[in-house]
Amino acid sequence: MPRLVSALLTVVAGAAGWQLFGFIGRQLERRSYRLAAAIVRVLARALLLYGVAAAVLLLLPQIEGLSPAWQEKITIALLTIVTAVVVARLVRQLLSIGIKSERAEPLAASLMQGMVYATVYLIAAVVILAAFGVNISAMVAAIGASGLVIGLALQDTLANFFAGLYILLTGKFAVGDYVQFDTFEGTVEDITWRTTLIRRATNAVLVVPNHRLSTSVVTVFRAAQSPVMIRLEILLEPEADLVRAEECVRAGLEAVIARGDSRGLCAEPPVTVRYGDTSREGVPMIVWVPVESVQQMFDARAAAMRACIAALTAAGIPLVVLRR
């Protein structure tokens, strides 16, 4: 009877702690302390679970015919299960907060959380099996050998899979964004676990392994970003009047925008003109031009280049024509 009373008191104490910590967690959530609120909510659930587990353990000796050895095994199993549930929930909450702060895809986020759950519960299962006297050494060795063989056979596939998972989780770019990498560029149409599909200006679809994208320097233009800046480079003769050339370029672009033939060019932010290092070939004039959206980049680049070349030619600014 005293053990039953102690068990009931333990459950009541766990429930009281659950309610108290739950209240604290809700207050923290209202004040936008998301991380602290998540941890407190997990602690609230942990108090309840450990309270129930402690009550069960207090009542174990009351069961007739249950030997001390089996009581110990059940104790280890029960505490392992409760700890696994608490740890999995804590890691899930922390991952959710981290994922929400990024542009992560929901499917990738759920997969990552599932992988965490599977890992935690797999470790818990190994601990429980060991507590019940199951020899897991041979099982672990067999799984390790099989994993090594499979990993070597599917090395490229696994590399692309984890690279795709990284891209989806971090949200560095998403479907609809315009990307430039190596010598390629285009609009992202789809991101799968193995490849990323990029539609080029020719309407051809470029199928890129995710591992290559994850190891390349990628320039990303957000689909929702407006305006975006495009880069033009024009090579001038070394003796060209750079001040006059800059004035001509600005005037030419302003005239195109004023005529309404801008093809996506916009007046704000203003055009930026810079110059690169002088070489034997000439002086590179680098022009940054604002465009209304990513979808208009190609038409805008063509219109801006025509306007710049026409303005420089009309003003007699000598251009370099490279012959190979």
User: Do residues 202 and 122 both lie within one domain?
Assistant: no
Q: Which residues pair with 290 in a beta bridge?
A: 229
In this predicted model, what pLDDT tens digit does every residue of 131-177 receive, in sequence order? 887 777 766 676 777 767 776 666 777 787 878 777 777 777 778 88
% of the chain residues with pLDDT over 70? 87
User: Do residues 98 and 122 both lie within one domain?
Assistant: yes
How would you list the strands of the sheet with 272-275, edge to edge?
228-236, 283-291, 272-275
324 occurs within a structural domain: no
In this predicted model, what pLDDT tens digit does every residue of 176-193 receive, in sequence order? 888 888 888 888 888 877
277: helix, strand or coil: coil
Number of H helices, E strands in the chain: 9, 8
Q: What integer pLDDT is reported at residue 107 of this predicted model?
A: 58
User: Do residues 194 and 270 both lie within one domain?
Assistant: no
Q: How many domains does the chain have?
A: 3
H-run or E-run covering 128: helix 106-131
| β-pair type (218-221, 283-291) | unpaired
User: Do residues 201 and 303 both lie within one domain?
Assistant: no
Average pLDDT over residues 309-317: 85
Q: Is the separation of the CB atoms in 121 and 129 below 8 Å?
A: no
- The separation between the first and the last C-alpha atoms of the chain, rounded to the nearest angstrom, is 98
Residue 324 confidence class, pLDDT cut points 50, 70, 90: very low
Average pLDDT over residues 97-113: 61
Cα 213 from chain centre: 13
* Of 82-96, 195-209, 215-229, 296-310, the least confident: 215-229
User: Do residues 208 and 233 both lie within one domain?
Assistant: no
153 occurs within a structural domain: no
Give me the chain's average pLDDT, please.
79
* Exposure b/e, 145-163, CB count within 10 A at least 16 = b: eeeeeeeeeeeeeebbbeb
Last residue of a domain, one of 113, 134, 155: 134
Last residue of a domain, one of 84, 118, 134: 134
Helix axis angle for 155-170 and 137-153, nearest 10°, is 90
Q: Which residue has the higher pLDDT, 188 or 201?
A: 188
User: Do residues 16 and 69 both lie within one domain?
Assistant: yes
Q: Side-chain half-sphere of 246: how many Cα atoms within 13 Å?
A: 13
User: Do residues 102 and 14 both lie within one domain?
Assistant: yes
User: Do residues 14 and 97 both lie within one domain?
Assistant: yes
User: Do residues 29 and 44 both lie within one domain?
Assistant: yes
CA angle 143, 148, 152 (to 5 degrees): 150
User: Do residues 22 and 80 both lie within one domain?
Assistant: yes
User: Do residues 24 and 86 both lie within one domain?
Assistant: yes
Residue 276 confidence class, pLDDT cut points 50, 70, 90: confident
Last residue of a domain, one of 107, 134, 161: 134
Q: What integer pLDDT is reported at residue 68 of this predicted model?
A: 80
Range of the domain at 240: 228-314
